Amino acid sequence: MIRHTLYLLLLLALASCQTDYTKLPTFTANKQLKAVIETPAGNTRTLVYDRERKEFVPDLNAGQEREIGFLPYPGNMGFIPSTEINKNGRGLEVLVLAERREAGSEMEVIPVGLVQLEKNGELRHIVIAVPSRPSERRIDATNFDAFSKNYPGAKAILQIWFSNFNKSGNTKFVGWRDEKFAEKEIQRWMKL
């Protein structure tokens, strides 16, 4: 009986120690931008971080799991921690162009640009980033000019993907912005 009680107490303690990914610092100690992955690259089902439950759960649309009706995610979709873009507490979105990372992975990243979308008349910004560690990069660009010049195909693919991934949401591609604009957006939405 005592062993069972201790086991339950241990489980409760572990459950209460779950990471709150929304409260992680925006930047690491060595001043690298941090991203938290929600939906891994290659997924067709969208995952989101549930702040109350402190876990990654399927994104629901009308009670059904939201599924991409186009090609799978071309990168790891997530958010910049300790940013908040709306009343629901949603963080600034980021797409990390790297090999697949599981939901809950934390990555140090470098913004190379920002995609602007319009959904139902509202602008939506998504930071496009690469891993800060060169050994983890598949795209060897650390700014918008290098990304645009050396990877025009990747830009075109992302533009097509973002224009088509959500047919029911009336999402339209508006344009690209550079890494300086992305950094300003990150600063704009950081919680103080």
**CATH number of the domain bearing residue 133:** 3.90.80.10
Summarize pLDDT for 82-110 with one digit per residue, the tens. Answer: 999 987 788 999 999 999 999 999 999 99
Q: What is the pLDDT of residues 150-171, one digit of tens each?
A: 999 999 999 999 999 887 767 8
pTM for this model (two decimals) = 0.89
Residues in a beta bridge with 79: 36, 93
**pLDDT higher than threshold 80 for residue 43:** yes
In sequence order, which residues have a C-beta less than 8 Å from that of residue 33 and are 6 or more positions away? 26, 27, 80, 108, 109, 110, 111, 129, 132, 186
- Given this model, what pLDDT does residue 13 score? 47
Q: Is 96 exposed, middle or buried (0-12, 13-18, 19+ CB in 10 A)?
A: buried
Is 135 within a domain? yes
**Greater confidence, 155 or 61?**
155
Q: Does the residue 134 lie in any domain?
A: yes
**Count of domains forming the chain:** 1
Residue 79's closest CA among 26, 17, 32, 137? 26
Judge whether residue 181 has pLDDT over 50. Answer: yes
Domain span at residue 183 reads: 22-189
In a domain, 64, yes or no: yes
Residues 6+ apart with CB under 8 A from 122: none
129 vs 68 pLDDT, higher one: 129
